[in-house]
Structure 1
């Protein structure tokens, strides 16, 4: 669907979808001709605004969303995801199945076969030895990698030939296509024991159409055409892409609507109304909406433990009654209508898209019920309007990523909603790297040093990777551990359901486990959903041949060739 005018946009089914605004900038060209032109012109530098600069660009070693733009330009996965959710081969020649003999009868061994002639951007051959090396890195006891759970289930592997590797799992892995989203170049490392300050982690070598040529921290990252790109029939049209670091999202969006940027990486639902208004005013922007797709949800991450002490309930949020009251106290419809211009929908499901996804109803906005729940739980209203219980005031920090004006607006709406029921929230927003950084770097989610955090997450074609985020084993067990926990919540019942989802090959049994996990999550509220934003991609009309067929936009870490390769004027 292409945006036509503002009079009908709020009435569209767009309200039932999710926003991941980011066009695919890779194989299209720069031209002043209409966007329908079939053959894009070559040349030019596309300019992308990035609001969350990561500490490193190798996605396997970073939890920051900004590192995912590497998937668009540098890093290619073995398999990618179409708009329909179907997984298709990319670096691999075919999707392994039992029918083609690439999955063993017992489901424990999967053979991955690579195209011949693939090279790294430095011209070295890309082979199955690189896949084997990637597995070895994830198996190191002190690896700085943050591998997907499927790597942990690998029992052994055998390199069959330069283009084939057989991987044996300890148990069946229904999400076996999740392996090798990033492959590490063996020839660039001295051993599989990688130091966290290895330059390859900051500026990775890949097989994609571009290579990182220059990174000036706080200013810009330059990508240039990969002269060794292996796809002879699909070469990039751009000379390069320059990613400008612009920490303030509002400024970035304003710059985009004025034509300073060809794309904003990180555009949200709250910015969509401004972009649509700019299009209505004649701005040279292509805005494509996909009401049939549901994607990223804005969540409140509730710290269930006391400052990272798992097993010790948070003094306020560890009370289930408080979490339930927060759920009822938030006027989600008001946020959609008054702040987001009607763009978005509501969902109360942990898994709301992809396999097993379902859109279940959120609880209704009911401040009276929220007050009643808190009264019954013994949280008494004080003279200052803040409740307390056993000497503990219901006062918590409320944080999100700094720099987003629209997000700050609905953060304030939520703050007022909670104040109306006697819960005080103190807003202290922080940069992305502080929110998502490792424990050794003081990351708030990693150390458990937070009360309520707010960010978007959750859309993947298969639920395993997303559900894993709330499995007890993912909670960092020491300051030296990598990774983080959204909720510092541990549930044996949830862990068992996740184990079924992560290992069961029977789709019906697996889907039942997803739905049961959704019900448990909604009941215990380790996190509370606010809204799901609409799926849309926007880019400069100077770009032609742009393809927005990737399932999740740039935040889909299985997406690579589905990012279009666009060109822009110098």
Structure 2
């Protein structure tokens, strides 16, 4: 789950980000000047009169904390600068990338053998080979490396090379989704291996095998790329690509309307303002992206299971979908979307204020003179933080507080930067986000495992449930799908009985983009959005419309 789309990237993905993948680092309104929102060549985006086939400028809400895959950048694919052994296509199916084919898997599920693509070079001209794969995985698994997502590779027992064209992974247990983990970008051993992995220049000036080369990173403003002319997949037609980092939703919409941007991710109410614009199209992506409220066990109010249960049924999820998302999403009852094959039917929670009040009454939380409940001198009140400038989080927080008040619980919503919020997470609730497509292990393990409580943005609620811990291990270590389904069913039923979070909605991402290129598609997206996802997930394949 990634509260901040920068650090792990989806958010609760890693200790440094609830999806430390591309987590959020900045907050507040960020207004970019003409230079910040313009294409690298100095002109405005293609939709504003620039060279339509040559450049594209898109507005995103978050930026990464690093550009090194050794520290978590691009771990879920689509990094633009790098490639993994495998990649995901438009339908989220695995396809070869730096590997020449999908891996050969042993019958016991413990050995994965990858034949590597030949003739691939890094952007500095040096050849790619097995040594780079070994270096990347071994470095990430090294405890001295500050990679918050190391536990995602826990199944690896050993990785070795057979010649320079074959890599063999040996696993400790038959980790079913292992191949999906190998979309992880590969770093060059000859560069990154000769400097401090945690602080060396490679963290901000990377060299990879991907379709684009980094030309500049003005933190808080933009990340600029140019096409890699020697890319093994063919040189991209979009020669210059810029991601303008615009934290504030309203500012992003204004810049798009002004022509400074060729595309942007927008919340539903702002995307609706472009509906009649013939020069732009809105692209909707279904996602695993959820919004949730962390309920820290260390807080005297949210630490009470009765309060958590009451909030779980007091919240009106469908109204949030209808009013806040304008229908672009669905109610969330846990990290797994209701339309996923992994969702456990019967764990939906009905909005029921009467039931919420009875739960609190039975637990001894009695209404005070102002209607707010009190037990043993403790007032049913707690703060709820959200990231400033994020309208969707703000709207979810306000709606949640309104629903809670009807049950007699007072929630004080507050906006702040992550620098303000992070030190308070053990005691204060946070309107967080997360979600990762694919295997349920990807999100649930980091979100709920008690051993990761307080580990940065992992398990932000300090959730501690031995039944869930065991089920998560069973789901992670079994290669049998039926066994795994039973394990994750157990997790979801336990969350219904003892919720450590109040899950609110799963959100469809909306992107408004100039109708200049083709083909534009979207994938099923993680929480992290805008940088690795969006219609520009495959910008290297775009061509000018004829």
TM exceeding 0.5: yes
| Structure 2: runs of 5+ lacking an equivalent | 1-38, 40-44
Contact 2:296 2:429 in 1 (8 A): yes
Cα distance in 2, alignment partners of residues 340 and 359 from structure 1: 24
Cα distance in 2, alignment partners of residues 502 and 105 from structure 1: 18
Q: Per-residue deviation at 1:228?
A: 3.0
Q: What pairs with 1:7-46 in structure 2 (closer than 5 Å)?
A: 43-46=53-56
Q: Per-residue deviation at 1:201?
A: 2.3
Query: TM-score if structure 2 supplies the norm length?
Result: 0.82
Cα distance in 2, alignment partners of residues 538 and 559 from structure 1: 14
Most deviating of 142-151 and 69-78 = 69-78
Cα distance in 1, alignment partners of residues 269 and 544 from structure 2: 24
- 1:341 aligns with 326
Structure 1, residues 127-174: CA drift from partner, whole Å, max 9, x if none? 111111112212322220123535222222221022211111111111
| Structure 1: runs of 5+ lacking an equivalent | 1-24, 33-40, 97-101, 307-313, 436-442
Q: Per-residue deviation at 1:535?
A: 5.2
Q: What pairs with 1:302-341 in structure 2 (closer than 5 Å)?
A: 302-304=295-297, 306=298, 314-341=299-326
Q: What pairs with 1:392-403 in structure 2 (closer than 5 Å)?
A: 392-403=378-389
- 1:287 aligns with 282
Structure 1, residues 303-342: CA drift from partner, whole Å, max 9, x if none? 12x2xxxxxxx31111111001111221222222233223
Most deviating of 401-410 and 234-243 = 401-410
Q: Per-residue deviation at 1:68?
A: 7.7
Q: Per-residue deviation at 1:44?
A: 2.5
- 1:172 aligns with 174
2:520 equivalent to 1:541: no
3-state DSSP of counterpart to 1:345: strand
3-state DSSP of counterpart to 1:429: strand
Flag the structure with more relative contact order, 1 or 2, with Cα contacts below 8 A and sequence separation at least 6: 1
Cα separation, partners in 2 of 1:57 and 1:535, compared to 1, 3 Å: same
Query: TM-score if structure 1 supplies the norm length?
Result: 0.78
Cα separation, partners in 2 of 1:554 and 1:185, compared to 1, 3 Å: farther
- 1:51 aligns with 61
Contact 2:292 2:501 in 1 (8 A): yes
Contact 1:42 1:567 in 2 (8 A): no
Contact 1:149 1:468 in 2 (8 A): no
Q: What pairs with 1:412-431 in structure 2 (closer than 5 Å)?
A: 412-431=398-417
Cα separation, partners in 2 of 1:382 and 1:488, compared to 1, 3 Å: same
Q: What pairs with 1:131-280 in structure 2 (closer than 5 Å)?
A: 131-177=133-179, 178-190=181-193, 194-231=196-233, 234-265=234-265, 267=266, 271-280=267-276
Cα distance in 2, alignment partners of residues 236 and 62 from structure 1: 25
Cα separation, partners in 2 of 1:483 and 1:410, compared to 1, 3 Å: closer
Q: Per-residue deviation at 1:525?
A: 0.7
- 1:501 aligns with 475
Q: Per-residue deviation at 1:509?
A: 1.6
2:527 equivalent to 1:551: no
Match of 1:356 among 331, 334, 342: 342
3-state DSSP of counterpart to 2:63: coil
Structure 1, residues 181-232: CA drift from partner, whole Å, max 9, x if none? 12222112345x945322222343222111211112222221122233222x
3-state DSSP of counterpart to 2:236: coil
- 1:510 aligns with 484
Contact 2:59 2:252 in 1 (8 A): yes
Structure 1, residues 341-385: CA drift from partner, whole Å, max 9, x if none? 232221324323656245666322222322221121111222343
- 1:12 aligns with none
Structure 1, residues 508-556: CA drift from partner, whole Å, max 9, x if none? 22222222221112221112211122355432112x1233253327948
Contact 1:103 1:111 in 2 (8 A): yes
Match of 1:473 among 427, 451, 456: 451
Cα separation, partners in 2 of 1:108 and 1:388, compared to 1, 3 Å: same
- 1:71 aligns with 78
Instruction: State the number of aligned residues.
Output: 493
Most deviating of 197-206 and 128-137 = 197-206
- 1:115 aligns with 117
3-state DSSP of counterpart to 1:388: strand
Cα distance in 1, alignment partners of residues 71 and 93 from structure 2: 26
- 2:22 aligns with none
Q: Per-residue deviation at 1:456?
A: 2.6
Structure 1, residues 45-103: CA drift from partner, whole Å, max 9, x if none? 2112122233323355258xxx789834212222223344422222222222xxxxx22
Most deviating of 349-358 and 532-541 = 349-358
Q: Per-residue deviation at 1:180?
A: 4.8
2:274 equivalent to 1:301: no
Contact 2:141 2:150 in 1 (8 A): no
- 2:9 aligns with none
Q: Per-residue deviation at 1:273?
A: 4.0
Q: What pairs with 1:406-485 in structure 2 (closer than 5 Å)?
A: 406-432=392-418, 443-444=422-423, 448-469=425-446, 470-476=448-454, 484-485=458-459
Q: Per-residue deviation at 1:420?
A: 2.2
Cα separation, partners in 2 of 1:92 and 1:550, compared to 1, 3 Å: farther
